[in-house]
Amino acid sequence: MSQTFTVEGMSCGHCEQTVEEALSGVAGVESATADHESSSVTVEGEADASELVAAVE
C-alpha cells in the first residue's frame, strides 16, 4: 500500500534524507521517498498513518 503525506519545512536533499530515515524506522515501512520540491513523502508498506506522522514531527 502506498501513502503520500505533506511534509512542510523540507528545503534540501539532506532534509529529504532525514525524513526518509525517520520513516524507515517505523514498523511496516518498506520504503520512503521524500521530495522537498513538492513538500511530500510517499511511503510504501503497511505502516499505521499515525505512527508515520509521529516519526516525522
Is residue 15 within 8 Å of residue 9, measured between CB atoms? Answer: yes
Give residue 20's Cα distance to chain centre: 5
pLDDT of residue 13: 97
pLDDT of residue 35: 98
From first to last of its 57 residues, the chain has per-residue pLDDT tens of: 999 999 999 999 999 999 999 999 999 999 999 999 999 999 999 999 999 999 999
User: CATH number of the domain at 2-56, please?
Assistant: 3.30.70.100
Positive/negative CA dihedral, 48, 43, 19, 9: negative
Rounded CA-CA distance 19/7 in Å is: 9
